[in-house]
Amino acid sequence: MKWKKGIAAVVSLLFSASLLTACSGGGDKKTSANPAPADAWVIGGNFELSGGQATFGKAAVNGAQLVFDEVNAKGGINGKQIKFVALDNKSEATESTNVASKLINQEKAVAILGCTTSGDTLGMVQLAMDKKIPVLSTSATNPKVTVDEKTNKTNDYIFRACFIDPFQGTVMANFSLNNLNKKTAAVLTDNQAPYAKGLAQFYKEAFTKKGGQIVADEGYVTGDQDFKAILTKIRATNPDVLYVPGYYEEVGKIVKQARELGMNIPVMGGDGWDSPKLVEIAGAGALNNTFFSNHYSSEDKDPIVQDFVKKYKEKYNEVPDSMAVLGYDGALILVDALKRAGEPNAEKIKEALAATKDVQTVTGKISYDEFHNPIKAAAIIEMKDGKQTFKDKVQP
Amino acid sequence: MDVFIQQLINGLSLGSIYALIALGYTMVYGIIRLINFAHGDVYMVGAYVGFWATTQGWGFLPALVLSMVVSAILGVVIERLAYRRLRNSPKIAVLITAIGVSFLLENGGVLALGAKIRTFPNVFPEVQYHFFNGAVVITNRQLVIMVVTTLLMLLLQYVVHKTKTGKAMRAVSHDTQAAMLMGINVDNTISATFAIGSALAAAAGVLVGIYYNAINPYMGIMPGLKAFVAAVVGGIGVIPGAFVGGISLGVIEALVSGYGQSLYRDAVAFALLIIILIVKPSGLFGSNVREKV
Amino acid sequence: MTEMLKQYFKLSNILVTVAILVLFAAVNIGIETGFIDDYYKLNLFLICINIILAVSLNIINGMTGQFSIGHAGFMAIGAYGSAIMTLKLGYPFAVGILVGAVAAALCGILVGLPTLRLKGDYLAIATLGFGEIIRVVILNIDYVGGAAGLNGISQYTDWPWIFSLTVITVLVIKNFMTSTHGRACISIRENEIAAETMGIDITRYKVIAFTMGAFFAGVAGALHAHYFYTIQPTTFGFLKSFDILVYVVLGGLGSMTGSVIAATGLTILSAYLQDYAELRMVIYSLLLIVVMLVRPQGLLGTAELSFDGIRRFFSRQTGKGRGAGNDSAVG
């Protein structure tokens, strides 16, 4: 009698199994309709197309698509077209694993581009390592992405198109001490973003090591609207500068509300600030006396940059932000490696990626160090009346 | 002291928003005993309508009114299509439907308008008032939020207590069957409740858009939950309770951020909710209802 | 004695055992030979995890009639607890699962005791609050990585582990449901006051339900953590709780088979809709609303799908009063 109810469980399990086979049947049909992997290079895209970071993912896909379209228009690589399959990971790490698995197993991708955030990229790192499929993240700046935490060894198959958090944090700490001549700083971190926490940590380390003092260390979470309470608390400690390594949406509100509270000190941050939306949210006036480190500036007069901005504007009718430019750069680096690999073989692509040297991208000439991090300069941008202007360029 | 006053002002303006959303929550819960999870998303839609109107060059008041009207209609439509059929179904079915409607509005919003945040145009110039040598700052936008919230609350009190619709609402909320027997059109009364509640949420949406300057399709989730907390704290179904609950939640959050650890702010809000539920389940202003056997 | 043996070796029981073993072996061979590739494997594992989550929530929501919507919090405890054991302290996976599940169960008691005074929607919102509190607390503990979460967790979850735990969970809960204790829980759902009058210790059974539900959610969390390599606090937000709640309600509150079918179906649906980024959630939400409007009691109501029920249905052609497989013995 006791076992009787178990029947139901088994029926259901059988049911699920049959559903699953039905599912796999459908899947097979679908893949057979696509060109066989031998006819094209299948590049997977694992991006945030919905959810909290949807704007990042979309911009990066737009940027990457531009490269692949160009390559295909010129006849592809070794006569083979590139098929770019970008799927949605809902801005979730678990879903990112799922998407990567689908790209590798179903779409037979030979390499994966993405994700834009460190958290989501970390979701597929281990899977890609196990499956031996190279991953090139467009903008995961957390050092942990390419280096195994426990063994401190480089993750063979993981690469990125951006510089890393320690560099960005240190650059801004030096900038506040040396260029702005400020001695005390308050840090306000997006505690839900590993990216922001990384930046904050390295900023604080560099700042205190060189004689500065951190007078306030506060946090918020992504999606917060009201920062006046935290800012009032920070205001009471009288800092010389405020460092806010977060994403533009919250940063815009923070700068706006800080100015409303009469805090006119310099506010600084990282590449998460780079979006035309920042000015819209905070207002041009409030953003005076703010600085951030970035991968590039759309105002840069460099012809390579301007050429890219023009192309991007033509196709998508908007100014590319740093996510878009890194999507573009990531695709450029990948295409360069594909050309050198010569055939759609994950192992060879990985070798080629690791050997990347002096590839001309919009954000500079890219070469990888031993940890698969590109060695490139950071731009420090000052906001003046709502316009991004070059303040400084810092070499590593 | 000046820091404390500043924190109070911060809390009051934040709490006013919670209060406006909580009013709608409490009305709907009071009348059909449904946690309307889609309420926070009606607030989002209200903000978007306000955004559209102000970018078309409308002034603050016309935009506010338009947004309230559109959201009122939306609220009624949601009730008609999604909730009415389920009025006699298990409560959890309606709750799941409400969650479904909430997802639909959020993701429909993403699909139709994009996930990108939108920024409101400058509807009226910002003026700051300084006290204590600039240690305490209040902006005219914060004042507008507080004044509009108070006015709408008073208006709502008037409607609920002095008008025929309001009396019908109270009757239906007290005992639906008896109200029906007394010749009250229950369907229309419930529709009216949804219309008023949604209009208030829309007002909150427009105010938030103007004050914080940025809106996105997911903006309703957290404030919606918080407003529900506020409604429960104040005593669900009680209109002044929702108002007081909203204001206190805002002030408590400001004080937690200002004097404690800002990262635990949300946890404190929910812990407060649980404590109040355990100590006084009917909320601060609610009256205990004895269970009939 | 022989009577008992006869019951144990009833045809249907033998069939069940054989079917379980065959299914296990078939999938195992499929995985070994690569016939079931990693993508299907991943979804198969997700289905199993979601089944455990759904049936465990069903103890609380379906059987006992308590309205809990913070299930992801227990899952988080299980995931973090087990990952700390294996990743940080180097214990074997089995210990990890056990510790994660027990930690979740303790939290279940912790949540259960104070909230038992609350009823219906109040309980719902309190459990939602607890789930959020758990998430916020985890987010602020640097030992477990804060927002970045725990990374580099070894992938211990394989088919034998996940399959046996899923089967065990379903069987344990099934048997609990038809036991004295399970029936006591059901009586609380049907009428709390009447149950109390009949001498049922309501508080005790509510706590038992919460603890059991939390325990198995912890198991699911542990399996999840050790399959996806990485866990982050955001994975266990209230949206995850809603997902689990949807499985239970869509399948039918109080129906184990309903939960299993809904968890399976919706996981597959979610995988299918992956290609339609933004449209996916719109379709999902529309489906939710339509199903609820058409069948507010869920797909199966409180009924169960079973061999016996199906057999009865076919042997009794005039079975108009009861639908296919309705086994009125339960609920």
Strand pairing of A290-294 and A378-384?
Answer: antiparallel
| Residue in C174, C177, C326 to test binding to A, most A beta-carbons within 10 Å | C174
For C89-113, what is the mean pLDDT? 93
Q: Could you tell me if A87 lies within 8 Å of chain C, comparing CB atoms?
A: yes
> Looking at the partner chain, which of C140, C238, C284 has a beta carbon nearest the beta carbon of B103?
C284
Domain identity same for C7 and C53: no
> Which residue of chain A has the CA closest to C234?
A92
Question: pLDDT-based confidence at C317, cuts 50/70/90?
Answer: low
Nearest to C292 by CA among B113, B86, B210, A73: B86
Residue matched to tokens 């940590």: A201
> Looking at the partner chain, which of A54, A233, A252 has a beta carbon nearest the beta carbon of B214?
A252
Domain boundaries, chain B: 23-226
For A212-230, what is the mean pLDDT? 90
CA–CA distance, A253 with B52 (Å, rounded to integer) = 21
**Stretch among A53-57, A216-220, C257-261 having the lowest mean pLDDT:** A53-57
Nearest to C130 by CA among C69, C75, C82: C69
CA–CA distance, A251 with A224 (Å, rounded to integer) = 10
Are C204 and C217 in contact by the 8 Å Cβ rule? The answer is: no
Residue A392 lies inside a defined structural domain of this protein: no
- pLDDT for position A222: 83
Domain identity same for C140 and C87: yes
Report chain B residues whose CB lies below 8 A from the CB of A220. Answer: 262-263
Contact (CB<8Å) C130/B108: no
Q: Could you tell me if A11 lies within 8 Å of chain C, comparing CB atoms?
A: yes
Contact (CB<8Å) A192/C155: no
With a CB cutoff of 8 Å and minimum separation 6, the contacts of B35 are B25, B29, B95, B98, B228, C121, C124, C125
Residue C331 lies inside a defined structural domain of this protein: no
Report chain B residues whose CB lies below 8 A from the CB of A278. Answer: none
pLDDT at C218 over 90: yes
Report chain B residues whose CB lies below 8 A from the CB of A277. Answer: 116-117, 119, 214
Q: What are phi and psi of A234, to 5 degrees?
A: -65, -40
Per-residue model confidence as pLDDT tens digits over A48-58: 987 777 788 99
For B170-180, what is the mean pLDDT? 89
Domain identity same for A363 and A281: no
Cis peptide leading into residue A162 (ω within 30°): no
Choosing from A270, A294, A318, the residue where a domain stops is A294
Number of domains in chain A: 2
For C50-58, what is the mean pLDDT? 95
Domain identity same for C147 and C3: no
pLDDT at A30 over 80: no
- pLDDT for position B104: 93
Helices (H), chain C: 2-8, 11-33, 38-58, 71-83, 93-115, 120-139, 159-178, 180-190, 192-197, 202-225, 238-251, 256-272, 277-294, 307-315
Residue C81 lies inside a defined structural domain of this protein: yes
Range of the domain at C3: 1-36
For C291-301, what is the mean pLDDT? 84
- pLDDT for position A50: 78
Tally DSSP H helices, then E strands, for chain B: 11, 4
pLDDT at A119 over 80: yes
Q: Could you tell me if A95 lies within 8 Å of chain B, comparing CB atoms?
A: no
Report which residue type is found at B126. E
Domain identity same for C272 and C130: yes
> Which residue of chain C has the CA closest to B227?
C125
pLDDT at B193 over 60: yes
Domain identity same for A173 and A270: yes
Strand pairing of A387-394 and B128-131?
Answer: unpaired
Contact (CB<8Å) B216/A249: yes
Domain identity same for A306 and A353: yes
Percent of chain B past pLDDT 90, that is, above it, reads 51
Q: Could you tell me if A150 lies within 8 Å of chain C, comparing CB atoms?
A: yes
CA–CA distance, A373 with B235 (Å, rounded to integer) = 56
- pLDDT for position A247: 87
Domain identity same for C29 and C133: no
Per-residue model confidence as pLDDT tens digits over B41-98: 999 999 999 999 999 988 899 999 999 999 999 999 999 999 998 888 888 788 889 9
Residue C330 lies inside a defined structural domain of this protein: no
CA–CA distance, B163 with B160 (Å, rounded to integer) = 6
Q: Could you tell me if A134 lies within 8 Å of chain C, comparing CB atoms?
A: no
B214, β-bridge pairs: B119
Report chain B residues whose CB lies below 8 A from the CB of A253. Answer: 212-214
pLDDT at A266 over 60: yes
CATH number, residue A224: 3.40.50.2300
Shortest distance, CA C294 to any CA of chain A (angstroms): 23
CA–CA distance, A17 with C27 (Å, rounded to integer) = 9
Per-residue model confidence as pLDDT tens digits over A248-263: 889 999 999 999 998 9
Contact (CB<8Å) A280/B119: yes
Nearest to B83 by CA among B71, B68, B69, B93: B93
Contact (CB<8Å) B93/C297: yes
CA C132, C135, C139, C142 torsion: positive or negative? positive
Q: Calculate ∠ Cα C100-C102-C104, nearest 5°.
A: 70
DSSP state of A111: E
- pLDDT for position B206: 94
Residue A260 lies inside a defined structural domain of this protein: yes
Number of domains in chain C: 2
**Long-range residue pairs from B59-66, CB within 8 A, at least 24 positions apart, any chain:** B59/B123, B60/B123, B60/B124, B60/B144, B60/B210, B63/B123, B63/B206, B64/B148, B64/B203, B64/B206
Percent of chain A past pLDDT 90, that is, above it, reads 47
Extract the tokens encoding C39.
Answer: 């993508």
Residue A137 lies inside a defined structural domain of this protein: yes
Extract the tokens encoding C293.
Answer: 């409007």
Choosing from A274, A294, A314, the residue where a domain stops is A294
Domain identity same for A169 and A157: no
How many CA atoms, within 13 angstroms, populate the side-chain half-sphere of residue A158? 28
For B260-277, what is the mean pLDDT? 84
Measured distance between the N- and C-terminal CA atoms of chain B, rounded to whole angstroms: 53
CA A158, A159, A162, A164 torsion: positive or negative? positive
pLDDT at A4 over 80: no
- pLDDT for position B236: 79
Shortest distance, CA A84 to any CA of chain B (angstroms): 22
Average pLDDT over chain C, rounded to an integer: 85
Are A313 and A6 in contact by the 8 Å Cβ rule? The answer is: no
Report chain B residues whose CB lies below 8 A from the CB of C250. Answer: 96
pLDDT at A35 over 60: no
Per-residue model confidence as pLDDT tens digits over B112-152: 887 778 888 887 888 888 888 778 889 998 999 999 999 99
Range of the domain at A276: 165-294
Q: Is C272 helix (H, G, I), strand (E, B) or coil?
A: helix
Domain identity same for C84 and C18: no
Q: What are phi and psi of C216, to 5 degrees?
A: -70, -30
Domain identity same for C120 and C140: yes
DSSP state of A148: -
Are B232 and B249 in contact by the 8 Å Cβ rule? The answer is: no
Number of residues written out for chain A: 396
Q: Is A76 helix (H, G, I), strand (E, B) or coil?
A: coil
Question: pLDDT-based confidence at C270, cuts 50/70/90?
Answer: confident
Q: Calculate ∠ Cα C225-C228-C229, nearest 5°.
A: 80
Contact (CB<8Å) C250/B108: no
Residue C42 lies inside a defined structural domain of this protein: yes
Residue matched to tokens 């065990």: C168
Instruction: Return the higher-pLDDT residue of A290 and C6.
Output: A290
CA–CA distance, A61 with A55 (Å, rounded to integer) = 10
- pLDDT for position B289: 58
Residue A362 lies inside a defined structural domain of this protein: yes
Domain identity same for A273 and A193: yes
Per-residue model confidence as pLDDT tens digits over C117-152: 777 777 888 888 888 889 889 988 888 888 878 888
**Long-range residue pairs from B174-177, CB within 8 A, at least 24 positions apart, any chain:** none
Subunits adjacent to chain C (3 or more Cβ pairs under 8 Å): A, B
Domain identity same for C136 and C66: yes
For C275-293, what is the mean pLDDT? 81
Residue A385 lies inside a defined structural domain of this protein: no
Q: Which of residues 1-60 of C touch B (CB under 8 A)?
A: none
DSSP state of C322: S
Domain identity same for A143 and A241: no
In the B/C pair of chains, how many CB contacts fall below 8 A?
Answer: 121
Domain identity same for C18 and C53: no
Percent of chain C past pLDDT 90, that is, above it, reads 37
CA–CA distance, C328 with C331 (Å, rounded to integer) = 7
Residue C281 lies inside a defined structural domain of this protein: yes
Average pLDDT over chain B, rounded to an integer: 89
Domain identity same for C135 and C158: yes
Q: Is B33 helix (H, G, I), strand (E, B) or coil?
A: coil
- pLDDT for position B288: 61
Percent of chain B past pLDDT 70, that is, above it, reads 98
> Which residue of chain C has the CA closest to B232?
C122
Domain identity same for A314 and A262: no
**Stretch among A340-344, B124-128, C47-51, C232-236 having the lowest mean pLDDT:** B124-128
Strand pairing of A267-269 and A290-294?
Answer: parallel
Domain identity same for C27 and C55: no
Measured CA distances, C73 to B233, B282, C117 (Å): 23, 26, 20
Q: Is B214 helix (H, G, I), strand (E, B) or coil?
A: strand
Measured CA distances, B167 to A277, B173, B189, C47, C128 (Å): 47, 10, 10, 51, 33
| Residue in C40, C180, C224 to test binding to A, most A beta-carbons within 10 Å | C40
- pLDDT for position C128: 86
Report chain C residues whose CB lies below 8 A from the CB of B107. Answer: 278, 281-282, 285
Q: Is B43 helix (H, G, I), strand (E, B) or coil?
A: helix
How distant is the alpha carbon of residue C162 from its chain centre?
13
Helix, strand, coil share (%) of chain B residues, nearest 5: 75, 5, 20
Domain identity same for C15 and C119: no
- pLDDT for position C96: 95
pLDDT at B202 over 90: yes
Contact (CB<8Å) B229/C193: no
Residue A382 lies inside a defined structural domain of this protein: no
Extract the tokens encoding B243.
Answer: 């108002």
CA–CA distance, A381 with A392 (Å, rounded to integer) = 7
- pLDDT for position C277: 61
